[in-house]
């Protein structure tokens, strides 16, 4: 029996606004859209094929209530500074600019998507 971790699904308050940010700000590509009676869903893929699913329930109103459940999404890139600038230029909220971590050979930056989901952008270094 196999278990493979596939996409996860985040509720968003404005589907097209979020899709635009994940496309233009983060460089993901829409792979398909699913229209159901109670919800609209969009799946986006990054390099390597891993996916994220965004969903907008038709009865949802107002901003997303984050509670304290989902902490953050990690994105790997070969250019943290460039992706950080691209994300913030496309409407992502700047949380922390790229900084080299002390413990690991990694540069990390933080942005928030239009609903306030936190995204950690990581660039791994060889040294």
The CB-of-69 to a second copy minimum distance in angstroms stands at: 5
Residue 3 sits in the site that holds a second copy (CB under 8 A)? yes
Strands 39-45 and 29-35: antiparallel
Residue 47 sits in the site that holds a second copy (CB under 8 A)? yes
Residue 37 sits in the site that holds a second copy (CB under 8 A)? no
Task: Give strand pairing partners of 45.
Answer: 29, 51
Residue 6 sits in the site that holds a second copy (CB under 8 A)? yes
Residues 35, 36, 38, 41, CA torsion sign = negative
Q: How many CA atoms lie within 13 A of 19 on its CB side?
A: 17
List 17, 24, 27, 112, residue binding a second copy (CB under 8 A): 27
Within residues 86-115, the interface with a second copy by CB under 8 A covers 86, 115
Give residues with Cβ within 8 angstroms of 15, minimum separation 6. Answer: 40, 42, 54, 55, 56
Instruction: Give the interface with a second copy as residue ranges (CB under 8 A).
Output: 1-11, 26-28, 45-48, 50-53, 55, 60, 64-79, 82-83, 86, 115, 117, 122
């Amino acid at each position: 029996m196999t278990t493979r971790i596939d996409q996860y699904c985040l509720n968003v308050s404005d589907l097209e606004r979020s899709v635009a940010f994940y496309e233009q700000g983060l460089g993901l590509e829409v792979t398909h859209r699913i229209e159901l009676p109670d919800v609209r869903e969009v799946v986006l893929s990054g390099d390597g094929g891993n996916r994220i699913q965004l969903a907008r329930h038709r009865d949802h109103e107002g901003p997303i209530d984050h509670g304290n459940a989902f902490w953050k999404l990690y994105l790997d890139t070969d250019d943290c500074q460039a992706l950080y600038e691209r994300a913030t230029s496309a409407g992502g909220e700047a949380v922390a600019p790229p900084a080299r971590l002390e413990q690991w050979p990694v540069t990390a930056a933080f942005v928030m998507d239009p609903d306030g989901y936190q995204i950690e952008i990581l660039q791994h270094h060889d040294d």
